[in-house]
Chains A and B, each alone.
Chain A
Amino acid sequence: MSLAGTEIKRAKLRFGLLTGAVSLLVFLVLLLSTLSGALIGALVGALQGLRTDGLVYADFARDNIAASRMEPSVVDAVAAVPGVANAAAVGTFTTAADIAGQQVDVQVFGFEPDGPGSPSGLSDGRLPSAPGEAAVDGGDVAIGDTITLDPAGTDLTVVGLLRGAQFNAIPTMYVDLDTYVEAAAATNPGLPFVPINAVAFAVQPDADVATVASAITSDVPGVKGYTRDDAVALIPGIESITQSFGILVGLTFIIGIVVIGFFFLILTVQKLKPFTLLRAIGTGTGRLAATVAIQITIVVWLASAIALGLTLLAVRGLNTGIPVQLDPQLILTTILAVWIFSLLAGLLSIRRIARIDPASAVGAR
């Protein structure tokens, strides 16, 4: 007969309320981490997903691809740096677009289909290979739809759908460089030439990306080279957004653990009399400690299952405007962490149980 299970059965309300409270806290942790992951992904997914070893910006851009402007000839200068295997232009700008009669803001990326700098995360269709074709992440489009860029008037046919490839958390479309240049020129009439924003470069098989990036910085005047990860991390605001979400998730997590730890301590203190009796009639401390650990495990896993259901509903029901997906690994890690730390918090109760003097069960005292 299990003390842990029988007690839960006899105190359904008490354990039900606890499970409810814990499930709300786990839900908050799961939702916050899912949303923050989605938001950060939507902000920087495009750069994270570029098939490239590194990027080059204008040195005045202060690490910001959107502020970077370079002459297209920089591509050849980068390609000539020792260690660089291949280099290609990347252009990007924000503009309005007409998607199924709706005016929306979109981010447009131009890339060279044969070079580094093409997007990853294709979930359906293919990448553009001809002028006027686009692969899109976001904006509720289907393959075969036509999107018109405003005010350029460029028509794009959707040939592929991407996931995790957004930039600035708005619908993002990838087109070949010629289409990009045409649209950018039409958007900014009177420019002598359409500048590129970045150069994507692949390094030779035995070369170190960071070393090559520094070589580019010193060899090519007016530019700065980055590894792709550095370029992502240095996107303005990303660090503080990541940190803020980290604090939110961490605090919710800690509050949840503390609630579980204290709640079980209260339950234990309330049960000191029966626990003392159990010790007196020959129950070892280990068995009582195991009872607490089993109950914590039951509460945490039940609460996690409820929280997971709530998170699924929330992700489906909430209109966040950015693509949100559940990350199974993140969810499993979170739940395991809640469980392990709850067991650690349960040590408070177990310490109290270990201090029980079985002799105090006797007599009327």
Chain B
Amino acid sequence: MNDPIDATSPVPDGPGPAPSADAPTRPGALLHVDHVSKVYGSGHTAVTALDDATMAVDQGEFVALLGPSGSGKTTLISIIGGLLSATSGTVRIGDVDVTALSRRELTRFRAERVGFVFQSANLVPFLTARENLLYVATLVKTPKKAAQQRADQLLEELGLADRAKNLPEQLSGGERQRVAIGRALMNDPDLVLVDEPTAALDTALGRQVVQLLRREIKDRGKTGIMVTHDLRMVEYTDRVFEILDGHLTHVEEPSALKH
């Protein structure tokens, strides 16, 4: 399942935008992405979606991953979240080497340590908003009472208390994304990974959802990575990583992007 990991690969010294030079300088970071590459397919049809990406994110940080369509954003957070195996390189979260986990271990890792908000089809259609939250608690065997309390609290915070018993099809797009955020936070994960949470929303609603996301992540001291290609959303984040054609670069301040 996992590609062999070349832990001894040297730091690249070739041309191109300097890789996140800060990675080694953040020894206490929660997330370490080290020289990760991903090649889809092989031979003639091979596509290098990610080329030697290196980054580090501190505990409690909320960062943006910005880039045009097809640049490799989804590929990168899929590898970070243990959904996709890297072709080379390593990903560490805390003391876990994600790239070394077996298929079964990855399933558990995702349930326990990662909260995902996907771009679409985020919720289980036959479960209500509240049940979508309660379900993930069963994956880590949270006691029922505690799970119910936590789900109700999250729904309350997300302004969904009166929508708890609604099925996803009875919710608006923004409400659905908010439920997904609640679902992602339900198991108290180390890392919250969010892929284009605002793609299906208009600007005002998009801002509202991202603000809420920031608040939840910050209040809980979580570490968050939000994928977006919308420059207007990066102002809610602490740092921005830019990705272009699979090459990851780093921009220190969100304000630096405001041209």
Instruction: Tell me the A residues contacting B by CB distance below 8 Å.
Output: 1, 3, 6-7, 10-11, 273-274, 277-284, 358-359, 361-364
Contact = CB atoms under 8 A, between A and B. Distances in A.
Contacts of A273: 121
Interface in B70-91: 74, 77-78, 83-84
B119 A278 contact: no
Given A1-B135, A10-B167, A364 B110 contact: no
Contacts of A361: 83, 116, 118, 121
B18 interface: no
A282 B119 contact: no
Contacts of A277: 118, 121-124
Interface residues of B, number: 35
A3 B124 CA distance: 10
A283 B124 CA distance: 12
Contacts of B107: 279, 282-284, 358
B171 interface: no
Given A280-B83, A281-B139, A282-B107, A362 B134 contact: no
A359 B84 CA distance: 6
A257 B126 CA distance: 26
Nearest to B130: A1
A279 B108 CA distance: 10
B138 interface: yes
B196 interface: yes
B23 interface: no
B146 interface: no
Contacts of B245: none
A3 B126 CA distance: 9
Contacts of A282: 107-112, 114, 136, 139
Contact of A3 (B77, B122, B135): B135
Contacts, number: 81
Interface of B: 74, 77-78, 83-84, 104, 107-112, 114, 116, 118-127, 131, 134-136, 138-139, 167, 183, 195-196, 199
Contact of B131 (A1, A359, A363): A1
A364 B196 contact: yes
A274 B125 contact: yes
B84 to A, nearest CB: 4
B131 A362 contact: no
Given A274-B124, A280-B118, A281-B139, A362 B77 contact: yes
B196 A281 contact: no
Contact of A281 (B78, B111, B126, B131): B111
A236 to B, nearest CB: 59
29 contacts: A1-B131, A1-B134, A6-B131, A274-B121, A274-B124, A277-B118, A277-B121, A277-B124, A280-B116, A281-B139, A282-B107, A282-B112, A282-B136, A283-B107, A283-B139, A284-B104, A284-B108, A358-B83, A358-B110, A359-B83, A361-B83, A361-B116, A362-B74, A362-B195, A363-B74, A363-B196, A364-B119, A364-B120, A364-B199
Pick from B121, B122, B124, B138 the residue with the most CB of A within 10 Å: B124
Nearest to B134: A1
B111 to A, nearest CB: 3
B4 to A, nearest CB: 19
Contacts of B131: 1, 6
Contacts of B121: 273-274, 277, 361
Contacts of A7: 126
A281 B138 contact: no
B83 A6 contact: no
B21 to A, nearest CB: 28
Contact of B138 (A1, A11, A274, A364): A1
A358 B74 CA distance: 13
Given A1-B138, A362-B195, A278 B126 contact: no
Pick from A11, A281, A283, A364 the residue with the most CB of B within 10 Å: A281
Nearest to B104: A284
